[in-house]
Structure 1
């Protein structure tokens, strides 16, 4: 009797939870309402089976409970019942699968005139590519991927010259226009997913997968990777911004083409030396850093990282928090560099300066720090050398007091909270694995041994 009542309460509680639960679909923002309809059909079919099976079990437990003088009847076969179960099960499975097949057929049948966008996944970020005026994307090859050609575009393919490159994880799309999404991965399996669009698709190295979608609501929507892709999988996030047509075209026109990125002139160290005079007042003539002035060591740091940070200071992406007082000081200093040419020149000069191992200012246990660094190594490299493809700067031979401050800033939300600081947002999540000051000091003590 108790078991029968428990089964009935289980059914009633499940039904109430289903209809009263606040965890439901996010408001849809695309044409794929059919996805919701398919899920609802699945809920109905499985719900009916769940209720029927559990109520049948409750009835069986109650009606055939043990009674004095009553013996169980042994009936191993019942062909009539088996036929009914087979037929009803087949109908239920068909009811769940058939709508999905129709939706899938439509999901991969791209309407004519759809805008084409390529999605590129890699550990642990996204980038995008639009065709240029010729309407065709240039061919790519993984063997051509370099820091100067992160998309691996074939320079000998004329179709790729006007391809529009989006090197960050934020994608803009026009509202009420179909978009064909081409997806490829540079390294491991990923899955591009936007919950409000009701779309997701696997990205397999060596293959190009695709689907199409029509955004129907303006706004900002999170992009998630929903295929386990390594240690920082949980931090692989991006954003889709759906704009009105005019705003979308304005955004697209400000993005560089492949030919423009190839035409960029390399930095000139001689020209950068004159610009560095201002920087040297704090960072030192050899870019060795000065803790008294809260200026970190710059020499031996990756040029791409220094250039990115200078642009972020100029754009207000770094120093966005009023609590980040030293970054606030850097904003007017970065503004003295008039353009990208000036930034590239000063970075080239810093790159020409000798590397010196700074003295340790913190004490910790490097043996314990070695185990903590295992997580960091996935992005920053086993020797702390930094990896451009994961947007992770060099840590070895850098100022330990500065690294400690940045870890604290990430943990406290002082750095990495600006909407455009996607790499910083990843570090906000990663820094939380260090539970206390001792862990930070141990980690930095190990990094200092590199």
Structure 2
């Protein structure tokens, strides 16, 4: 009897929770209200079945409870009951599936005036390509992919010269205008999913899949990869920002095109030498670093990484957290570099400095560090030499004391929390696996052994 009462209360409580709970779907931010309708139909059908089965089980427990001197009767077949079960089940399944066919027809029918956006996925980053003023996307091919051309743009295709390239996980879209997503992957199977926009579609290597949506509410929405794509899958996050058309257009005009990126002059090492004089006071004449000044080694880092960090300091994405004591010292120094040309010149000069390995200061268990480093290796490489394609700097041959400080900063939210530090926020998620300083020491000991 107690179990029967519990089943009745469970069914009643589930129904009441569904209708009285303050938690439900997020407000619609796209044109896919029909998707919510199909989900609601599924809730109704499965809810009725759940309540019916629960009440039937409660009734059966009472009706057929144990009684002394009574025996159960065995009825192997009941064609009438089986017929009605078949009919009711078929109707329930049809009620759930039929609306989905209508919704799917809308999903695959892209409006003629939809803006095209190419989404490129790679473990574990998002990037985007938008057509320029000609409204056409240029052709791409894997044979063109390199460090300076991560999208694989075809240099001979003039339609691609004005394409806007966004090496960032944040994409802006205009409010009230349909957007067609052209989805491609550079490595493994990924999935583009924005729950609030009701958008979810796989990115398949070797194919270009697509989806579309019409944003109807301004705001910022999380983009997730919802296909297990490797050890760093959980950190593959992005953001879709829906803006008023005027604000979107202003943002779009600030983004670089393929032609502009190619036309950017290479850094001038000679000019950078003069600018580096201020840096040398802390980082050393040869960029060897100085622990007493809390200045890490610079020599050996790629110019792309140095330039990115200097820009982050300049815009306040680094060095502004109240606990980032040493970052606060670096921020005003970065401000002396007046523009991107100055930053490129300094990075070019640092690239000419001798790369000498620093003294190691951390000791730890190399074997435990090897096991922990598997996660890091996915981006930074098995040897810790870094990888521009995954926005991962070099670790091997760099100052271990500085890496330890930064890992703690990432783990504790001192670094990587700023909205503009998109790659730092990804690293903050990964650093969360380091529960204590012993774990950090083990990883650094392994890196030092390479």
TM-score (norm 2): 0.97
Partner of 1:167: 167
Measured against aligned partners, the alpha-carbon deviations of 1:111-134 in whole angstroms (never above 9, x if no partner) come to 111111111111111111111122
Shift of 1:20: 3.5
Secondary structure of the 1:288 match is coil
Unaligned segments of structure 1, at least 5 residues: none
Q: Find the residue that maps to 1:116 and give its secondary structure.
A: strand
* Structure 2 alignment gaps of length 5 or more: none
Q: Tell me the equivalent position of 2:141.
A: 141
Matched, 1:369 2:369: yes
- Aligned-pair CA distance for 1:329: 1.6
C-alpha distance in structure 2 between counterparts of 1:74 and 1:159, whole Å: 76
Aligned to 1:265: 265
Matches within 5 A, 1:230-309: 230-309=230-309
Q: Displacement, 1:408?
A: 1.4
Please report how far the alpha carbon of residue 375 of structure 1 lies from its aligned counterpart in structure 2 after TM superposition. 1.7
Q: Is the 8 A contact 1:434 1:440 kept in 2?
A: yes
CA distance in structure 1 between the partners assigned to 2:140 and 2:253 by the alignment: 23
1:55-134 map, 5 Å? 55-134=55-134
- CA displacement 1:183-219 (0-9 Å, x = unmatched): 1111111111111111111111111111111111111
> For residue 29 of structure 1, what is the aligned residue in structure 2?
29
Query: Take 1:374 and 1:22, find their aligned partners in 2: how far apart are those partners?
Result: 42
Q: Deviation at 1:312?
A: 0.9
Distance in 2 (alpha carbons) for counterparts of 1:5 and 1:368: 53
Whole-angstrom CA distance in 2 between matches of 1:211 and 1:364: 49
Q: CA deviation at 1:75?
A: 1.8
Which residue of structure 2 lines up, in the alignment, with residue 326 of structure 1? 326
- Secondary structure class of the residue paired with 1:336: coil
In the alignment, the residues of structure 2 paired with residue 159 and residue 241 of structure 1 have an alpha-carbon distance, to the nearest angstrom, of 26
Q: Does 1:398 align with 2:398?
A: yes
> Bigger CA drift: 143-152 or 267-276?
267-276
Larger deviation: 267-276 or 249-258? 267-276
Q: Detail structure 1 runs of 4+ shifted over 4 Å in the superposition.
A: none
TM-aligned CA deviation for residue 289 of structure 1? 0.3
**C-alpha root-mean-square deviation of aligned residues, in Å?**
1.4
Looking at structure 2, the residues matched to 295 and 25 of structure 1 have their Cα atoms a distance apart, in angstroms, of 49
State the match for 2:7 in structure 1: 7
Cα offset for 1:71? 2.9
CA distance in 2, matches of 1:94, 1:357: 68
Q: Matched residues in 2 for 1:63 and 1:69: separation?
A: 16
Residue 197 of structure 2 corresponds to 197
Instruction: Show the 5 A alignment for 1:306-321.
Output: 306-321=306-321
Question: What is residue 207 of structure 2 aligned with on the other side?
Answer: 207
Q: CA deviation at 1:278?
A: 1.6
Report SS of the residue matched to 1:441. Answer: helix
Are the equivalent residues in 2 in contact too, given 1:115–1:179 (CA < 8 A)?
Answer: yes
CA shift, 1:298, in A, is 0.4
Contact preservation (8 Å) 1:320, 1:418: no
Write the distance in 1 (CA, Å) between the matches of 2:370 and 2:110: 51
- Count of residue correspondences: 450
Residue of structure 2 equivalent to 1:45: 45
CA shift, 1:22, in A, is 4.1
Deviation of the 1:70 alpha carbon: 3.0
**2:190 & 2:21 partners in 1: Cα distance?**
31
| Deviation of 1:336 (Å) | 2.0
- Bigger Cα displacement from structure 2, 92-101 vs 272-281: 272-281
Instruction: Check if 1:358 corresponds to 2:319.
Output: no
Distance 1:141 1:266 in 2: 25
